[in-house]
Structure 1
């Protein structure tokens, strides 16, 4: 096996945002050295036992949580271990997620010197009032400064996240944030509509009627604005939530949508190897204890049957602007796309959500907006 992606999860944050349901926690700095030790041990086991041979990394992605809360020497220890176990392709994309309030010029320079060549900032908004309401640890000026410092440190591939449908957010707030983002040296922009997830502080407030969310019509207008403004500014939409300047698409994330293998290490990390999906134990302390005791941190192992695999390929491929390749589907499953999904394709095409070419089926602009309706049709 060669040419895979590697994901490393860092489950620490300076503070927990009200909307976040990711596997992360604040106030756990005391766990960081033990966690890094466990990560390195899991990497050793993966290289020796799960991958069994020389493996090249096409992409490396360090996410969280907030990876940049980890002390620089601990991050360098992780990267040193990765380089000792794996070779990276000459053009490997190496991404780290960052919160603008957790970086300095020195820390960014160290990350770049250690081999990271892409950075993704969780900005969310350039409105200080909205950032405060989200529980973010940065303000808008810090976000601007961090992106400029990253450029000075040598990062020529910078991404930022924005959110819409946020509490008390107006269309004017969103437009100001987008226009601010467009003045900065970023090559990739991800946009996410707020999802109020069970178990989060936002969910509790929502259930109590204490979360002032924009009206549905406003959220629809925000979506429509984003899908027009970003392409007009030179950021092509290549996936439902992602826009990039030409050549700056996230190659690591594309691997998730293209049904290619990847390895995940750390608490809650997912892997997809040999057509089997694995998931690690979610909580950081439980993960550490597993690895320290010599046990595998894997808690879920699932090999999709043919139908489930077809569904996954359809859902993930249709998230991308290029859509689902007929030839690749037939090569993977030994049966044509038309034989399996002809009725679903016809129904979605009649509804004006899907378009078909000789080589692909793909969501059109309306289908991108109502993708869940299409995905439901592709359940077998």
Structure 2
């Protein structure tokens, strides 16, 4: 059975100003006991699922900043993965902050079975990095990618952002050019969203957040969606572009209804059509694991309508779109009987392309995806 594993490392050296993820700075004293608890959970739950479903196709370690873990703790986690979940995983990704790795750390990752890296670069301009609270410089990001190559990695992704405070089109163009010159295989580009309870949200309330206008951000969006395919990076999902054969297999599983097991504090799981979330409180997670309790809670018992909505939303994020056959196989009902009117309306508006195989977002649909997604909500 195809399935995946997500491992959450909730530590970071400094909280980025835009970040609302469950990650914490200044918790270094908890790293050792967290590592012990995580390895215990990997042994118990990871082994159980491996015995039931076989070796997973993908593993993704995210955060936080996984590479904020000192190398000795990272080595323990990777050893537990190899011992209890499996070795030679087809795609094993670790998220990295360029400011937290050196050659030895990257060599450790590669030696222990990691075969894909995702660098949170965001920008190669130092001033922009400072404004968003990143701990690395543009040159450190360049050197981190080069060191990863020397360590033997042939599948590297970088994250970039647009719509940042003070950012202009030329900044984004320079970052895209730098990523292309580094010959990375995958590029994720995200528009800045000011989330509640972040430093940027507080700055915005005080009138101190100098963001590009909507028109400027739209120009940046148009640039990336045109330039990246011209550079050989095919858009296969709303925010993701890859050279042929280097699409993120793990992320694709999220969009195509593949189950996954979440391990670690704040980790989410999708199992038997239900979604679970582990406690985000690190101390509570550690205590729960040590006491042998299940640290996960069912997020919500999904209704059939909610399951259909989610299935449609996730599939439509991809270039392939929503398959008639997959929908029928999943829900035992024809796609047109549920969404026929919606598909016709969005097709007429130029946001959706409809054919015998199913439907997918048009170029305009990708740009205004939230408008299209809203139409797939079932009353």
Residues 280-359 of structure 1 aligned to structure 2 (within 5 Å): 280-359=278-357
Q: 2:366: which partner in 1? A: 368
Provide the rounded CA distance (Å) in 2 between the counterparts of 1:161 and 1:221: 19
Secondary structure in 1 matching 2:328: helix
Q: Deviations over 1:142-174 (max 9, x none)?
A: 000000110010000000000000001111111
Q: Deviations over 1:234-266 (max 9, x none)?
A: 000000000000000000000000011001111
Provide the rounded CA distance (Å) in 1 between the counterparts of 2:278 and 2:49: 14
Residues 198-347 of structure 1 aligned to structure 2 (within 5 Å): 198-347=196-345
Provide the rounded CA distance (Å) in 2 between the counterparts of 1:136 and 1:143: 11
> Mean Cα displacement is larger for which, 236-245 or 173-182?
173-182
Q: 2:182: which partner in 1? A: 184
Q: Judging by fraction of residues, say which structure has more strand.
A: 1
> Mean Cα displacement is larger for which, 331-340 or 38-47?
38-47
Secondary structure in 2 matching 1:237: strand
**Uncovered stretches (5+) of structure 2, i.e. residues with no partner:** none
Answer yes or no: is the 8 Å Cα contact 2:42–2:85 preserved in 1. Answer: no
Q: 2:90 aligns with which of 77, 92, 99?
A: 92
Q: Deviations over 1:304-355 (max 9, x none)?
A: 1211111011000000001011011001111000000001101111111000
Q: 2:4: which partner in 1? A: 5
Q: Deviations over 1:203-247 (max 9, x none)?
A: 001011110000110000000000000000000000000000000
Provide the rounded CA distance (Å) in 2 between the counterparts of 1:49 and 1:117: 24
What displacement does 1:91 show? Answer: 5.8
Provide the rounded CA distance (Å) in 2 between the counterparts of 1:17 and 1:317: 30
TM-score, normalisation: structure 2: 0.97
- Shift in alpha-carbon separation, 1:54–1:302, aligned structure 2, 3 A: same
Length, aligned pairs only: 378
Provide the rounded CA distance (Å) in 2 between the counterparts of 1:129 and 1:47: 42
Q: 2:65: which partner in 1? A: 66
What displacement does 1:96 show? Answer: 0.3
Provide the rounded CA distance (Å) in 1 between the counterparts of 2:321 and 2:260: 21
What RMSD in Å do the two structures reach over aligned CA positions?
Answer: 1.3
- Following TM superposition, where does structure 1 have runs of at least 4 consecutive aligned residues deviating by more than 6 angstroms? none
TM-score, normalisation: structure 1: 0.97
**Uncovered stretches (5+) of structure 1, i.e. residues with no partner:** none
Answer yes or no: is the 8 Å Cα contact 1:17–1:136 preserved in 2. Answer: yes
